[in-house]
């Protein structure tokens, strides 16, 4: 039987290979660990960024309604000033929220800011008549007979716009935007009509944050808990 003996050259090559492995393997391991750590760090950064985006998109959750912390009105970025729930007897009617160019804690400060938005996220179905009656009651609570007479035309325009809603479904969003001296009424992202007159804009805002608000704790919530 023939036996293959290792030559000195083969032994030298084997020793060199072993020495190379002893030197390089730790370096390769270090590189691999660094790559893995980098990948893991990138995943953490991506997760944090996604969480930040999600958090900014929905600042708060009120009765299951997610409210954005910012809104765009007439090309201006507004911030969420506060939000709360409007109740009638045992029923939760809507989540009301107030958006302003900057935070405000008093009625005077709110009325001094423009543009502004009052948003109603409905928690139950409401007919157009129910919406109109609620707003009319709010106006009567906060205005004198003379002040009501002064905005009678605008009040009629508001009623006509909302009458066209038919029935506003649970989950619908009513927006009332106050831009310069006009009031813009929208439903589910669609503008339904514009009413001119600064006095009417201020009167409508007082329904929620006036001296005799629709609901005291809702006013407090809209004013940021002040």
pLDDT digits (tens, 9 = 90+) for 103-144: 999 999 999 999 999 999 999 999 999 999 999 999 999 999
**In terms of domains, do 118 and 42 share one?**
no
**In terms of domains, do 122 and 217 share one?**
yes
| Distance between CA atoms of residues 176 and 187, nearest Å | 9
Count of domains forming the chain = 2
Q: What pLDDT band is residue 24 in, cutting at 50, 70 and 90?
A: low
The secondary structure element, H or E, covering residue 127 is strand 126-127
- For residue 104, being part of any structural domain is answered with yes
Q: Which CATH number characterizes residue 186's domain?
A: 3.50.70.10
Q: Is residue 207 a contact partner of residue 139, using CB atoms and an 8 Å limit?
A: yes
User: What tokens does 178 get?
Assistant: 């106050």
**In terms of domains, do 78 and 126 share one?**
yes
What DSSP line would sit under 165-201, residue for residue? T-EEPTT-EEEEEEETTEEEEEETTEEEEEEE-HHHH
**In terms of domains, do 140 and 119 share one?**
yes
Whole-model pTM: value is 0.74
Tell me, what's the pLDDT at 134?
Answer: 95
pLDDT digits (tens, 9 = 90+) for 142-200: 999 999 999 999 999 999 999 999 999 999 999 999 999 999 999 999 999 999 999 99
* Segment 180-188 long-range contacts (CB within 8 Å, at least 24 positions apart): 180/114, 180/115, 183/154, 183/158, 185/158, 185/161
The domain boundary, picked from 15, 30, 57, lies at 57
- For residue 63, being part of any structural domain is answered with no
pLDDT digits (tens, 9 = 90+) for 72-102: 999 999 999 999 999 998 899 999 999 999 9
Domain extent at residue 99 = 68-222
Q: Which residues contact 94 (CB under 8 A, 6 or more apart)?
A: 85, 86, 120, 121, 122, 123, 124, 126, 174
**In terms of domains, do 176 and 196 share one?**
yes
């Amino acid at each position: 039987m023939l036996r293959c003996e290792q030559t000195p050259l083969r032994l030298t090559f084997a020793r060199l290979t072993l020495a190379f492995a002893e030197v390089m393997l730790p370096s390769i391991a270090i590189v691999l660990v660094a790559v893995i750590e980098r990948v893991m760090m990138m995943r953490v950064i991506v997760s944090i960024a996604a969480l930040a985006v999600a958090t900014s998109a929905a600042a708060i959750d009120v009765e299951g309604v997610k409210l954005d912390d910012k809104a765009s009105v007439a090309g201006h970025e507004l911030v969420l000033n506060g939000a709360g729930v409007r109740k009638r007897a045992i029923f939760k009617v809507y989540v009301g929220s107030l958006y302003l160019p900057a935070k405000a804690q008093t009625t005077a400060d709110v009325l001094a800011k423009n543009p502004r938005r009052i948003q109603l996220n409905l928690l139950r179905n409401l007919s157009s008549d129910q919406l109109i009656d609620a707003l009319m009651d709010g106006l009567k609570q906060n205005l004198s007979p003379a002040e009501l007479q002064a905005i009678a035309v605008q009040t009629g325009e508001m009623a006509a716009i909302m009458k066209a809603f038919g029935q506003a479904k649970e989950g619908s969003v009513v927006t009332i935007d106050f831009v310069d001296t006009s009031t813009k009424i929208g439903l589910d992202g669609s503008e339904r009509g514009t009413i001119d007159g600064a006095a009417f804009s201020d009167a409508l805002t007082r329904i929620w944050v006036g001296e005799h608000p629709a609901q005291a704790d809702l006013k407090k919530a809209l004013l940021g808990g002040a």
